[in-house]
């Protein structure tokens, strides 16, 4: 795909870009920021998307700015019905309330509602000579790609239509020939678009044709590609910082070139490293640990998943591991972002969930909801009617077993004797009874019953 790429090392970069590298000491915003989370509604929100949303949200809260939710749904063929609504619901579950977004704010936040805006700006680039119409057929483009690949070259458009005269273009338009609009990419060697400072990866230098092919901006159906839509929207929505996955790092020179072509100031970029499975493979929506809904269904508290997600690529200044959302809002910093890939591990998440569950049970504002949740779970696990499971008994059981619970759904298995006659014929019960002389069994059970009754009253 790319013929040549040189990413300067930190040491080389500091020499090559002394001005930019010097900015590393002052990467924290000094004024209110505007940030956005811009997912595509092609399925359920995954853990990597939640992290991107969280870091943008925390940056806005930490520095007194606005957090915007923008739905990038221009690729209509890949849309999943209900996915956009699911994304909103997941963010609300996590407590990441956006300041502007669908149903909230003065703008249109679905890109499919902004097609006229993109076509207007594509025409502006055509008028400036920064873009051109391409009438090449799909078959020609496929043949070109096949030929370049066979020759060991990276596929790239050959600018076959870049030099068409105005007369030729008018004739083709009158004939109704389908066409796209391509950016007229600047020469990489003559452009500063490939030289930029990334908050996470520091000073970057993409040389040669890397990221500088003549990308399609408007498709033949008049819909924008990601490259045009996200640049136009970031400018019109006054985005100051773009925190997104590092899979977009290679496209940044292209986006910066578009900002330059429009005469706009580009935002600051921070490209977040990938999340990995324990086996070293990339975490994706198709992994069991990918979709956020899987964690919700498994019984994790929003506080613990948010806490865990924040530590996937961000290092606080202290050894503290347990954070509430409010504490994260007060502690988050761009300087704490890591370039290292993070491995997703349920073991650490389980530990965090136990800590947050314990804290929630001690909080009167949260414990009532957890008691009702556990009550329904006990009824389902025991086969009892929910009405026969007393809330007072559940509350007592949660207090007694709280330190051992990872999820409220574990309550019945932890203390089944509190919700019915104890099963003394189980292996575990037999082993426990062996340790106690027979003559003490009944007195102990009577004492336990009395103690529990006293606890409830």
Q: From the DSSP assignment, how many helices (H) and strands (E) are in the chain?
A: 18, 11
Q: Where are the beta strands (DSSP E) in 5-52?
A: 34-37
Phi, psi of 110 (to 5 degrees): -100, 125
In the 8-state DSSP scheme, what is residue 233?
H
Among residues 108, 172, 219, 285, the one annotated as catalytic is: 285
Known active-site residue 285: yes
Beta bridge partner(s), residue 202: 198
In the 8-state DSSP scheme, what is residue 224?
B
Query: Is residue 161 classed as helix, strand or coil in its secondary structure?
Result: coil
**284 contacts 290 by C-beta, under 8 angstroms:** yes
Identify the residue whose tokens are 């977004």.
Answer: 101
Q: How far apart are CA 390 and CA 371, in angstroms?
A: 10
Q: How far apart are CA 205 and CA 71, in angstroms?
A: 31
Q: Residue 367: which of 415, 390, 399 has the closest Cα?
A: 399
CB atoms within 10 A of CB 346: 16
Residues assigned a catalytic role: 285
């Amino acid at each position: 795909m790319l013929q040549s790429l040189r990413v300067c090392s930190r040491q080389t970069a500091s020499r090559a870009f002394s001005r930019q590298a010097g900015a590393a000491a002052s990467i924290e915003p000094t004024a209110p920021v505007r940030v956005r989370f811009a997912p595509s509604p092609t399925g359920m929100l995954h853990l990597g998307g939640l992290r991107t949303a969280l870091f943008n949200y925390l940056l806005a809260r930490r520095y007194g700015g606005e957090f915007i939710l923008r739905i990038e749904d221009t690729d209509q063929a890949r849309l999943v019905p209900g996915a956009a609504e699911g994304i909103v619901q997941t963010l609300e579950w996590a407590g990441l309330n956006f300041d502007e977004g669908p149903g909230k704010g003065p703008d249109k936040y679905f890109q499919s509602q902004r097609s006229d805006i993109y076509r207007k700006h594509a025409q502006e680039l055509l008028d400036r000579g920064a873009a051109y119409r391409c009438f090449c057929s799909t078959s020609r483009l496929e043949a070109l790609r096949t030929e370049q690949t066979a020759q060991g070259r990276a596929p790239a458009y050959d600018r076959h239509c870049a030099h068409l005269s105005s007369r030729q273009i008018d004739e083709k338009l009158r004939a109704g020939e389908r066409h796209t609009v391509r950016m007229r990419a600047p020469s990489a060697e003559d452009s500063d678009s490939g030289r930029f400072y990334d908050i996470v990866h520091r000073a970057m230098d993409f040389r040669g044709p890397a990221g500088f092919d003549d990308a399609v901006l408007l498709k033949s159906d008049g819909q924008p590609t990601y490259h045009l839509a996200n640049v136009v929207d970031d400018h019109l929505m006054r985005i100051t910082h773009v925190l997104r996955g590092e899979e977009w790092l290679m496209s940044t020179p292209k986006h910066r070139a578009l900002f330059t072509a429009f005469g706009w100031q580009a935002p600051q970029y921070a490209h977040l490293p990938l999340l990995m499975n324990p086996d070293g493979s990339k975490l994706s929506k198709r992994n069991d640990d990918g979709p956020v809904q899987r964690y919700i269904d498994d019984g994790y508290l929003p506080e613990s998943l948010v806490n865990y997600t924040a530590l996937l690529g961000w290092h606080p200044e202290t050894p503290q591991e347990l954070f509430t959302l409010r504490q994260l809002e007060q502690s988050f910093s761009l300087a704490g972002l890591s370039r290292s890939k993070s491995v997703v591990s349920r073991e650490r998440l389980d530990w965090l969930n136990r800590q947050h569950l314990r804290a929630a049970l001690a909080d009167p504002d949260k414990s009532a909801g957890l008691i009702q949740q556990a009550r329904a779970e006990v009824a389902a696990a025991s086969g009892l009617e929910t009405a026969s499971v007393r809330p007072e008994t559940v509350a007592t059981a949660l207090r007694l077993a709280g330190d051992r619970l990872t999820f409220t759904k574990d309550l019945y298995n932890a203390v089944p004797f509190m919700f019915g006659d104890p099963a003394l014929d189980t292996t575990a019960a037999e082993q426990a009874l062996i340790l106690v002389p027979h003559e003490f069994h009944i007195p102990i059970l009577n004492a336990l019953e009395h103690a529990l009754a006293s606890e409830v009253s």
